[in-house]
């Protein structure tokens, strides 16, 4: 097993899923050239939010049961612990930008629905109809399918873009953005915009973020659990595996089935780690030597965790988001 992916004294980043690759490249360039952590993370997340090809984040995101795209985003500054989040926002072009600005406020920093949109409009942030024509078509088709079923099923493609970064001075931060579960009930919120569940950053210890079934991730405040393990001295990869394992077993004892949870983390020295309960979870690591895709995996029979660098064959056969 690879336990240390990249170790460099330079500012570094780690992100979830293949969809984050282009954004991470951009963010890493900003970090390497200017050492501007907030800008690097926000630009990286925006790059994913703006791309309609990525159907689980931002523009062209997965609609709820009523055909509306409802988005959640959050940002945490690991120096100040300042946290901002917007929850269930519709038609906001870049939810991460609003979350970033809110993270600088000492009160009223987590806003939902209309309140979040009022704030965004006050700040002059751009709005846009987030439902693309292809999202609308997919929604119409899914609706027809679901009418045939007794129980609504959550589409399997839901994901969150999570970006963690560390500056040369050792500041850490984290940004996340998602449209949540496909065909969710209007107003449903997952782990992503909740501090400690979907993300956590503390420059004194490290940062972590999660993606997967939010209702399950939240039951263990998974991101906070990983950071606390790093704080108590566990190496980043072990912290990811141990926190996820303990949480997954806790759920399993209660009769839950594995609906997929994946995590990324970075310690306060810039070492990166990741773990998953899925067969495969792609993530990207960037540093002064460039950007590279890795895959975390869990053996479904033994529960053993692995990390590997995918080859050409894997890249050709796996989905691009």
Between 95-102 and 113-122, two packed helices, what is the crossing angle to 10 degrees?
80
Q: In the Cβ-directed half-sphere of 209, how many Cα atoms lie within 13 Å?
A: 31
**The only residue of 70, 191, 228, 321 in contact with ligand ASP, by rule CB under 6 A:** 191
**The only residue of 212, 220, 270, 287 in contact with ligand ASP, by rule CB under 6 A:** 212
Give the SS3 label for residue 46.
Answer: helix
Residue 29: C-alpha distances to residues 36, 51, 94, 297, 299 (Å): 10, 19, 21, 28, 35
Q: What angle do CA 292, 316, 290 make, to 5 degrees?
A: 15
* 111-170 residues near ligand ASP, rule: CB under 6 A: 158-160
Give the SS3 label for residue 311.
Answer: coil
For residue 291, what is the enclosing H or E element? strand 290-298
* Site membership for ligand ASP, residue 15 (CB under 6 A): no
Closest contact distance (angstroms) between CB of 191 and ligand ASP is 5
Closest contact distance (angstroms) between CB of 81 and ligand ASP is 22
Closest contact distance (angstroms) between CB of 73 and ligand ASP is 11
* Site membership for ligand ASP, residue 78 (CB under 6 A): no
* Site membership for ligand ASP, residue 196 (CB under 6 A): no
Give the SS3 label for residue 211.
Answer: strand
Tell me which of 83, 160, 211, 277 is the catalytic residue. 160
> To which residue do tokens 């500054």 refer?
77
* Site membership for ligand ASP, residue 321 (CB under 6 A): no
Would you call 160 a catalytic residue per the annotation? yes
Joined tokens for residue 115: 């309140």
Which part of the chain contacts ligand ASP (CB under 6 A), choosing from 21-29, 163-171, 206-214, 313-321?
A: 206-214
* Site membership for ligand ASP, residue 282 (CB under 6 A): no
Residues designated as active site: 160
Report the interface residues with ligand ASP, using CB under 6 A: 158-160, 178, 180-181, 190-192, 211-214
């Amino acid at each position: 097993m690879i336990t240390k992916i990249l170790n460099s004294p330079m500012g570094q980043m780690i992100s979830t899923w293949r969809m984050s690759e282009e954004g991470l490249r951009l963010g890493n360039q900003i970090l390497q050239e200017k050492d501007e952590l907030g800008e690097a993370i926000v630009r990286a997340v925006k790059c994913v939010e703006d791309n309609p090809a990525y159907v689980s984040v931002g523009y062209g995101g997965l609609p709820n049961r009523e055909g509306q795209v409802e988005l959640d985003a959050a940002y945490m500054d690991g120096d100040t612990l300042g946290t901002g989040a917007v929850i269930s926002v519709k038609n906001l072009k870049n939810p991460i930008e609003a979350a970033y600005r809110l993270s600088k406020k000492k009160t009223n920093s987590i806003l939902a629905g209309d309140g979040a949109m009022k704030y965004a409009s006050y700040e002059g942030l751009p709005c846009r109809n987030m439902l693309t024509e292809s999202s609308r078509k997919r929604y119409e088709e899914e609706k027809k399918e679901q009418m045939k079923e007794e129980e609504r099923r959550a589409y399997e493609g839901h994901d969150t873009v999570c970006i963690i970064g560390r500056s040369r001075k050792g500041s850490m931060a984290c940004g996340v953005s998602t449209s949540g579960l496909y065909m969710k009930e209007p107003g449903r919120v997952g782990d992503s915009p909740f501090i400690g569940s979907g993300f956590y950053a503390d420059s004194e210890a490290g940062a972590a973020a999660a993606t997967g079934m939010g209702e399950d991730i939240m039951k263990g405040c998974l991101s906070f659990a990983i950071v606390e393990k790093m704080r108590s001295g566990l190496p980043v990869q072990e912290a990811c595996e141990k926190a996820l394992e303990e949480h997954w077993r806790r759920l399993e004892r209660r009769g839950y089935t594995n609906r997929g949870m994946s995590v990324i983390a970075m310690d306060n020295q810039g070492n990166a780690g990741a773990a998953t309960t899925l067969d495969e979870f792609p993530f990207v690591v960037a540093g002064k030597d460039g950007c590279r895709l890795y895959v975390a995996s869990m053996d479904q029979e033994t529960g053993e965790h692995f990390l590997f660098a995918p080859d050409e064959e894997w890249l050709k056969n796996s989905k691009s988001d």
